[in-house]
Chains A and B, each alone.
Chain A
Amino acid sequence: MIELVSKDRCVTCDRCVEACPTNVFDRGADGIPVIARQSDCQTCFMCEAYCPTDALFVAPTVTPLPTGDPLRNEDHLVATGLLGSYRTGLGWGHGRTPGSRLAVGPDLTPHKESSHQAASNGRSCSPCRLISGR
């Protein structure tokens, strides 16, 4: 669930208020978005992806974290490289290569290397989809 809105990083652009598909944020009086309905957060990480300044952090857990949990601590998240890590993974942001350009996923059926090569002619294994659904 969404756990952090960094006051220092936020540029009050309202992108997260707009982009959150389950309407978790309200506009705060000072412009900083408020986590108004945390229980509606579906932990989809999309607000993080849309935040231009990496001011948001979504913990992967589906229940709120206790006060004092390191994943609610901005300094810890910066130090561990977790803050903004989804945007890095997606290749979103100035000067980055869109992750979709590089998104050649694995074959979805574990193969023995040789049979895969035979089936694939050096490209892709035809019964498999390289990038898949769930």
Chain B
Amino acid sequence: MFKGTIIAKEAAKGFEEIQDMAGTIGINGTAHSLPADPRTSLLDFLRHDLGLTGTKKGCDHGQCGACTVIVNGMRINSCLTLAAMHEGDRVTTIEGIGGPDAPSDLQHAFMAHDALQCGYCTPGQICSAQAMLAEIAEGWPSDATADLTSEATFSDEEIRERMSGNLCRCGAYANIVAAIRDVARGRADATV
């Protein structure tokens, strides 16, 4: 797995120069070279370097969730991580979840339930919800889970707690919960 590669020049022992490293990051199934400037957040890398502007910059401080993407299956705030630290990682953005021609079940549900007004938070909401449904399927508890040792169960209270990292300034929360609830039920029915 980790080969101990080095990202930038370091005079101390055991370090190599960046040029020696074939560093790439996988975005929606395509490998891209890592940015040269280590300051580049994953969010800025996606938007500025790759033109993947579906991922949004809201607060840039991990407070709003508009920048949520899925890295190796885990949802994170792309504003609070350096792109250069994601060598070899697999990133899924909203563009990788679906587009106008082939929207995902969550994207369909957000439209059907009018789960947005301005839409700025929506890509982050959908990436977050996509990972959140997988977390519940794994049986991971949340702060709203009554019994830590039993399987997590699906409820509106669980959705609200688990989605608390995604703010919606338009206040479309009720319909966001409804959209996610629909998809969760749909997926559960599909697996019966």
Instruction: Report if A and B associate in a common complex.
Output: no
Binding site for A on B (CB under 8 A): none
Write the residues of chain A forming the contact surface with B, with a CB cutoff of 8 angstroms: none
